[in-house]
Amino acid sequence: MEIREAVSAGAANRRLVKRLLLITVAMFGFGFAMVPIYDVLCQITGLNGKTGGRQVAAVLPMAVDEARTVTVEFVANLNVGAPWEFAPQVSHMQVHPGQYYQTHYLARNLTGHALVGQAIPSVAPGLAAQHFQKIECFCFNRQVFQPEERREMPVVFRIDPNLPSDVHTITLSYTFFRLDDAGG
Amino acid sequence: MTTSRIAQAGGIAAGGALLAWSAVAHADFALNMTPGATSVSREIYSLHMLIFWICVVIGVAVFGVMFWSIYHHRKSRGVAPAHFHESTLIEIVWTVVPMLILIAMAVPATKVLIRMADARDAELTIKVTGYQWRWHYQYLNEDVGFFSTLSTSPAQIHNDASKGEHYLLEVDQRMVVPVGKKIRVLTTASDVIHSWWVPALAIKKDAIPGFINESWTLIDKPGVYRGQCAELCGKDHGFMPIVVEAMPEAEFRQWVAKMKASNLNTLTASGGKTL
Amino acid sequence: MNTAAAPTLDDHDHGHHAGPSPGLMRWLVTTNHKDIGTLYLLFSLTMFFIGGAFALVIRAELFQPGLQIVNPHFFNQMTTLHALVMVFGAVMPAFVGLANWLLPMMIGAPDMALPRMNNWSFWIMPFAFTLLLSTLFTSGGGPAGGWTLYPPLVLQTGDAFPFVILAVHMLGVSSIMGAINVIATILNLRAPGMTLMKMPLFVWTWLITAFLLIAVMPVLAGAVTMLLTDKYFGTSFFNAGGGGDPVLFQHVFWFFGHPEVYIMILPAFGVISQIIPTFARKPLFGYASMVYATSSIAFLSFIVWAHHMFTVGMPLAGQLFFMYATMLIAVPTGVKVFNWVSTMWRGAMTFETPMLFAIAFVILFTIGGFSGLMLAIAPADFQYQDTYFVVAHFHYVLVPGSVFSLMAAAYYWLPKWTGHMYNEQMGKIHFWLSVVGVNILFFPQHFLGLAGMPRRIPDYALQFTEFNMISTVGAFLFGFSQLLFLYNVIQTIRGGVKATDQVWEGAHGLEWTLPSPPPYHTFTTAPVVK
């Protein structure tokens, strides 16, 4: 009697342990799944002002809203261990939603050897990020700089007229990171 | 120790703690949050005090009942235990009533939060960058930028000299701002995560490498407001204070002109101005 | 109950000896739940003193402004290791130890369901902690980036880094195995008639805790694995430069971290729910609502994590959601406190040491709950976040919360485990010194935080001096009082007044029907619960 119970308890244990291990493995996977989930959430909510490093897929023409003016501020940051000089050409622009604008950032390799870096964009306020369309941007690709090279890096952008009407100022920030070995 | 003495001691201790807590809550020395220097910081202070007093009232009621029970329902008084162990009605009551109290708290909290999120129409934008272990301030429309580093001497820190009044809360270059103007603060960092915190302005925003965060303030009276980095950022996390000096617009303009001419003016860490 | 004649489940299922193996091998190879419970509890006590010593280094440095005893880098190692040791080495293993000793005895099972796995899950831990603590002696020292391991700072850790990650993985594996064992034991080995809704509350809270553990420990494992690959294998999960995001780590970490907080408190709720009815001589008020409240807290713990991150710059909608969800936790927690007070109401109470600790738990944990509610209010949280107010808050729920419940449990069940009564007078002195010490230690930290003192700093501005001094005095009082507990436990193990089977006049439940101490194998024939 007891022996039979013991055997069936053993089988029940094995079944249960299998299920629990499955949950464990699934949750381990979930930890990694949070990475793409988070990226999608960032795209939707503008969490952290992420604009995405990618180009806008389809550049559809938009009605230009001449009546409305939005201030776009340009900010440059250098991550530690990135031996560049890096600055926007202009500190800010007055733009109309729907219209294309071009500006550029200036960067100079301060070292005597070639460097690889990439600029990471961030937009504030975060909710405006999805309405800030970059048609051309140096941030889409990694940038190779020759020794001492100084370069103008263009940004072509447009503000989506669907930008919430209470947003009057948008800040576009780039942080330059060094990508080769000693990035810090 | 007899049980009644235990109960009394417990009661006195708890009562004393509550009294001390309520007495000090209004004192003027470093016991409580300060109302601060902006309307938002005052709203947060009121919210803090409101929640605090609600907690005190609930605490006094719950602990009061408990201590009354501990005093009266002791075996040493010869009481026989009751046997009740459930009451649906009372369970519903003490689920619903706290819900209502929470809603009463959530309403003002939501209002303040919405106000804090509204950084529109600022007249001045300052980008604050955290470094291990100092801050860089850049005034976006003014071409002014500089590092701000702890100015307390190592001798004071290592107890070789007597400590000054603003020990660890003093810097070589203050972040200077005008009063009565809405100021937008963008925070970012160059190496690890820092957090820019000035209690009197009720701003605490993480400075995250690669990203910019937005907050705002509108200071109504001139003064010097001190804060510190609030996110562990390594060895000298405790040694990168923030000092904000608010002054009238005219004086601020003079300061801007002086800074532009100064050799301290570095727009970015690498001196991006020279491009 | 006659158990002697029946063939034992153990004998047939696992081929055990009737009694323990002799000597040291007994402890190395044991699969007996009582032995493993003892190992867990003693290990946890050791870690409690090691973690406590780290805390005293921290408090000693903070006694006065200026740097006196340690340098800032070592200070950061102390805060980091204090947290890791106390969370993973002291509190969690102590509750697993209680589970090992008590769950089979409470549900009428002969042992844990998976005894061999039980042995592994314990013996992984000493190795993990040896690894973790040995990093203190590596060049560059131990981990100093905080127990939350936030990148990019944690990636600046020196040689210690891979060891820390490996240790966290080992502890995770240990916890997961322990949790699987608990679930299998509770679901499969209950005595006939022991329906789920008849289980003692300690069993219920552990069942829920075990599910939390297997849900979130793997997430932590994932997070630290990503840290490891970011540092050594060129991935960019958390590196903004490669398209990652350091804030993502915080989301993943706190998805683990908040349920982890409840992993450390739910079993404490269970302990208190066993002890208060015993000394009030009255059944627990609202048993069913206690079960539902515990489940609700466990559920809510999965949707509140970002309240640890209000300052990272979340969108307004996110802040509002996490604020409301967090405030909701106050409701089931309140239900628990009200139920405990109602259990005391019109009872016939006596105040032996376990009851004193339980009452102190209810009061002081509730104070921690109040400060938790204040922290939930997002706009105010901007002022509290990363200050000593937070330090005071989580120490109130963890020390006079979890740790007091462990003290209460130790005094409550020690006579059952050892067969001897502990020294009641000394127990009461230990209680009063602890309760006074812990309040002197942590209450002033509320003031420090509100006045603007950030956490994790080795040196502070002059206006914080007085309360830091008071806090340090309390720390040493509390810390050294625990030696009394150690002495009392050792003396009780060695001998003392013989304990009766029931031990406490008002004690109910299967474990109190067994002899004190219980024989090596118990409930080899399942008791029938009416």
Report, as an integer, the average pLDDT of C134-150.
Answer: 93
Give the model's confidence band at C8: pLDDT under 50 very low, under 70 low, under 90 confident, else very high. Answer: very low
Q: Which of B78-87, C184-193, C472-481 has the lowest mean pLDDT?
A: B78-87
Q: Touching check for C321 and chain B: CB below 8 Å?
A: no
Give the model's confidence band at B17: pLDDT under 50 very low, under 70 low, under 90 confident, else very high. Answer: low
Q: Which of C58, C66, C57 is nearest to C462 (CA)?
A: C66
Residue A40 located in a structural domain? yes
What Å distances lie between residue C523 and C9, C199, C359, CA to CA?
Answer: 9, 16, 32
- Supply the pLDDT for residue B148: 95
- Supply the pLDDT for residue C201: 97
Residue of B nearest to A70 (CA): B121
β-strands A115-124, A169-178: how paired? antiparallel
- pLDDT tens, position by position, B141-189: 788 999 999 999 999 999 999 999 999 999 999 999 999 999 999 999 9
- Supply the pLDDT for residue A179: 83
Q: Which fold has domain C9-513?
A: Cytochrome C Oxidase; Chain A (1.20.210)
- Supply the pLDDT for residue A57: 52
All residues of chain C having their beta carbon less than 8 Å from the beta carbon of residue A3 are 7, 12
Contact state of B268 with A76 under an 8 Å Cβ cutoff: yes
Report, as an integer, the average pLDDT of B229-248.
Answer: 96
Q: What domain range is A60 assigned to? A: 52-178
Q: Touching check for A47 and chain B: CB below 8 Å?
A: no
In this structure, the answer to whether residues A71 and A121 fall within a common structural domain is yes
- pLDDT tens, position by position, C59-75: 999 999 999 999 999 99
CATH entry 1.10.3470 includes domain B3-74+87-116: no
All residues of chain C having their beta carbon less than 8 Å from the beta carbon of residue B159 are 66-68
Residues 247-266 of C with CB under 8 A from A: 247-248, 251-252, 255
Give the model's confidence band at A49: pLDDT under 50 very low, under 70 low, under 90 confident, else very high. Answer: low
Q: Nearest-5° angle of CA B214, CA B216, CA B219?
A: 160
Q: Which of C193, A45, C378 is nearest to B51 (CA)?
A: C378
- pLDDT tens, position by position, C366-415: 999 999 999 999 999 999 999 999 999 999 999 999 999 999 999 999 99
Give the model's confidence band at B268: pLDDT under 50 very low, under 70 low, under 90 confident, else very high. Answer: low
- Supply the pLDDT for residue A142: 84
All residues of chain C having their beta carbon less than 8 Å from the beta carbon of residue A29 are 222
| pLDDT above 70: residue C6 | no
All residues of chain C having their beta carbon less than 8 Å from the beta carbon of residue A32 are 222, 226
Boundaries of every domain in chain C: 9-513
| pLDDT above 90: residue B204 | yes
Tell which of B114, B212, B270 to mutate to test the A interface (max A CBs under 10 Å).
B212
Give the model's confidence band at C36: pLDDT under 50 very low, under 70 low, under 90 confident, else very high. Answer: very high
The Cα of B46 is separated from the nearest Cα of chain A by a number of Å equal to: 27
- Supply the pLDDT for residue B9: 52
Question: Domain total for chain A?
Answer: 2
Give the model's confidence band at A183: pLDDT under 50 very low, under 70 low, under 90 confident, else very high. Answer: very low
All residues of chain C having their beta carbon less than 8 Å from the beta carbon of residue B94 are 334-335, 338
d(CA B15, CA B79): 26
| pLDDT above 80: residue B274 | no
Phi-psi group of B180: left, alpha or beta (phi > 0 → left; psi -120 to 50 → alpha; rest → beta): left
The Cα of C381 is separated from the nearest Cα of chain A by a number of Å equal to: 19
Residues 203-232 of C with CB under 8 A from A: 214-223, 225-226
Given a contact as 3+ CB pairs under 8 Å, which chains touch C? A, B
Q: Touching check for A76 and chain B: CB below 8 Å?
A: yes
Q: Looking at chain B, which residues constitute the CATH 2.60.40.420 domain(s)?
A: 124-158+167-270
Cβ partners under 8 Å of residue C99, min gap 6: C37, C178, C182, C206, C267
| pLDDT above 80: residue C5 | no
- Supply the pLDDT for residue C241: 84
Q: Which residues of A88-119 are buried (b: 16+ CB within 10 A; e: fewer)?
A: bbebbbebbbbeeeebbbbbbbbeeeebebbb
| pLDDT above 60: residue A143 | yes
- pLDDT tens, position by position, B35-44: 999 999 999 9
8 Å CB contact between C320 and B110 = yes
Interface A:B, Cβ pairs < 8 A:
93
Residues 219-258 of B with CB under 8 A from C: 227-239
Q: Which positions of C are annotated as active-site residues?
A: 82, 111, 147, 174-175, 258, 260, 262, 273, 307-308, 333, 336, 455
Q: Nearest-5° angle of CA A102, CA A106, CA A111?
A: 155
Residue of B nearest to C366 (CA): B59
What mean pLDDT value characterizes chain B?
Answer: 87
All residues of chain A having their beta carbon less than 8 Å from the beta carbon of residue C312 are 48
- Supply the pLDDT for residue A66: 84
The Cα of B117 is separated from the nearest Cα of chain C by a number of Å equal to: 7
CATH number of the domain to which A97 belongs: 2.60.370.10
In this structure, the answer to whether residues A59 and A131 fall within a common structural domain is yes
What mean pLDDT value characterizes chain C?
Answer: 93
Task: Write phi, then psi, for C419 (nearest 5 degrees).
Answer: 85, 5
Q: Which of A50, A79, A84 sits opposite B209 (nearest CB)?
A: A79
Residue A101 located in a structural domain? yes
Contact state of C216 with A24 under an 8 Å Cβ cutoff: no
Contact state of A31 with C251 under an 8 Å Cβ cutoff: no
- Three-state DSSP state, C301: coil
Contact state of A31 with C222 under an 8 Å Cβ cutoff: yes
Which helix (H) or strand (E) segment holds residue B134: the answer is strand B134-139
Q: What's the DSSP call for residue B150?
A: B
Cβ partners under 8 Å of residue B165, min gap 6: C462
Q: Touching check for B191 and chain C: CB below 8 Å?
A: yes
Cβ partners under 8 Å of residue C452, min gap 6: B30, B34, B199, B227, B228, C387
**A169's tokens:** 């100022």
Q: What's the DSSP call for residue B78?
A: T
- pLDDT tens, position by position, C234-257: 898 998 888 889 999 999 999 999
- pLDDT tens, position by position, B57-106: 999 999 999 999 999 999 999 999 998 988 999 999 999 999 999 999 99
Q: Which of B244, B263, B201, C152 is nearest to A175 (CA)?
A: C152
In this structure, the answer to whether residues A31 and A114 fall within a common structural domain is no
β-strands B134-139, B144-148: how paired? antiparallel
Q: Touching check for B178 and chain C: CB below 8 Å?
A: no
- The residue whose two tokens read 């740097």 is C67
Q: Which of A72-86, C166-180, C297-311 has the lowest mean pLDDT?
A: A72-86
C97/A140: higher pLDDT: C97
Q: Touching check for B49 and chain C: CB below 8 Å?
A: no
Residue A183 located in a structural domain? no
All residues of chain C having their beta carbon less than 8 Å from the beta carbon of residue A120 are 240-241, 243
| pLDDT above 60: residue A67 | yes
Tell which of A45, A47, A131 to mutate to test the C interface (max C CBs under 10 Å).
A47
| Amino acid sitting at position B263 | N
8 Å CB contact between A134 and A157 = yes
Q: What's the DSSP call for residue C419?
A: S
Tell which of C149, C248, C263, C321 to mutate to test the A interface (max A CBs under 10 Å).
C248
Residue of A nearest to C179 (CA): A20
Q: Which of A7-11, A117-121, B16-20, C95-99 has the lowest mean pLDDT?
A: B16-20
Q: Looking at chain B, which residues constitute the CATH 1.10.287 domain(s)?
A: 3-74+87-116
Contact state of B140 with A75 under an 8 Å Cβ cutoff: yes
**C403's tokens:** 């740790």
In this structure, the answer to whether residues A69 and A22 fall within a common structural domain is no
**C150's tokens:** 């936030």
Contact state of C241 with A3 under an 8 Å Cβ cutoff: no
All residues of chain C having their beta carbon less than 8 Å from the beta carbon of residue B85 are 282-287, 343
Cβ partners under 8 Å of residue C442, min gap 6: C391, C392, C395, C396, C399, C400, C471, C474
- Supply the pLDDT for residue C2: 40
Give the model's confidence band at B21: pLDDT under 50 very low, under 70 low, under 90 confident, else very high. Answer: low
In this structure, the answer to whether residues A77 and A37 fall within a common structural domain is no
Q: Which of A49, A78, A167 sits opposite B269 (nearest CB)?
A: A78
What is the percent of chain A with per-residue pLDDT over 70, rounded to a whole number? 83
Q: Touching check for A79 and chain C: CB below 8 Å?
A: yes
Given a contact as 3+ CB pairs under 8 Å, which chains touch A? B, C
Contact state of A53 with C243 under an 8 Å Cβ cutoff: yes
**Domain B124-158+167-270: what homologous superfamily?**
Cupredoxins -  blue copper proteins (2.60.40.420)
Residue A123 located in a structural domain? yes
| pLDDT above 80: residue A131 | yes
Tell which of C219, C238, C305 to mutate to test the A interface (max A CBs under 10 Å).
C219
What Å distances lie between residue B92 and A105, A127, C299, C357, CA to CA?
Answer: 63, 41, 20, 29
8 Å CB contact between C140 and C157 = yes
In this structure, the answer to whether residues A30 and A69 fall within a common structural domain is no
Give the model's confidence band at B29: pLDDT under 50 very low, under 70 low, under 90 confident, else very high. Answer: low
8 Å CB contact between B164 and B107 = no
d(CA A120, CA C20): 63
| pLDDT above 90: residue A1 | no
- Supply the pLDDT for residue C231: 92
Provide DSSP, C463-526.
GGHHHHHHHHHHHHHHHHHHHHHHHHHHHHHH--SBPPSS-STT--SGGGGS-SSPPSS--SSP
Given a contact as 3+ CB pairs under 8 Å, which chains touch B? A, C
| Amino acid sitting at position A64 | V
Q: Which of B249-263, C67-81, C92-106, C176-190 has the lowest mean pLDDT?
A: B249-263
In this structure, the answer to whether residues A91 and A167 fall within a common structural domain is yes
Which helix (H) or strand (E) segment holds residue B60: the answer is helix B39-72
| pLDDT above 50: residue C3 | no
- Supply the pLDDT for residue A85: 87
What is the percent of chain C with per-residue pLDDT over 90, rounded to a whole number? 90
Contact state of B210 with A175 under an 8 Å Cβ cutoff: yes
d(CA A134, CA B58): 54
Contact state of A47 with C251 under an 8 Å Cβ cutoff: no
Q: Which of A122-136, B75-89, B129-143 has the lowest mean pLDDT?
A: A122-136
Tell which of C8, C9, C319 to mutate to test the A interface (max A CBs under 10 Å).
C9
| pLDDT above 80: residue C446 | yes
Contact state of A78 with B268 under an 8 Å Cβ cutoff: yes
- Supply the pLDDT for residue C11: 41
C359/A82: higher pLDDT: C359
- pLDDT tens, position by position, A96-118: 998 889 999 998 988 888 889 88
The Cα of B245 is separated from the nearest Cα of chain A by a number of Å equal to: 24
B127/C243: higher pLDDT: B127
All residues of chain B having their beta carbon less than 8 Å from the beta carbon of residue A83 are 270
